[in-house]
Amino acid sequence: MWSNTGGQRTGKPGARMVHCVKFDKELPGLDRVPWRGELGKRVFESVSKDAWKLWLEHSKMVMNEYRLNPLDPNSQKIMEEQMEQFFFGEGAKLPEGYVAPKAKG
């Protein structure tokens, strides 16, 4: 049973559902805005917790590959561009039938 509260769909108390841009289906959304500014709002409104976990893994690779410093404004700008591309850019959708790998540990 779904209820509609202020534009946010909920399936159980405390669960905020979004239509995830990465998985193209309804999934539990993030608990809070994950990034500042307009991009953070877009991610909060249209990225699921599962897709955010994929981004976190991808972002580690980006940080290491580009040797970015999270406190450096230029590095933050690069990460923001990478996040935009990851979720909303060309080729952002996962291949049909994609199954996320099991978490390590």
Q: What is the pLDDT of residues 57-102, one digit of tens each?
A: 999 998 998 899 999 999 999 999 999 999 999 766 565 665 655 6
What is the set of domains in the chain, with CATH numbers?
13-88 (1.10.3880.10)
**This model's pTM is above 0.95:** no
* Interacting residues of 98 by C-beta distance below 8 A, sequence separation 6+: none
Q: What is the pLDDT of residues 9-37, one digit of tens each?
A: 444 566 899 999 999 999 999 999 999 99
* Interacting residues of 44 by C-beta distance below 8 A, sequence separation 6+: 29, 30, 32, 33, 34
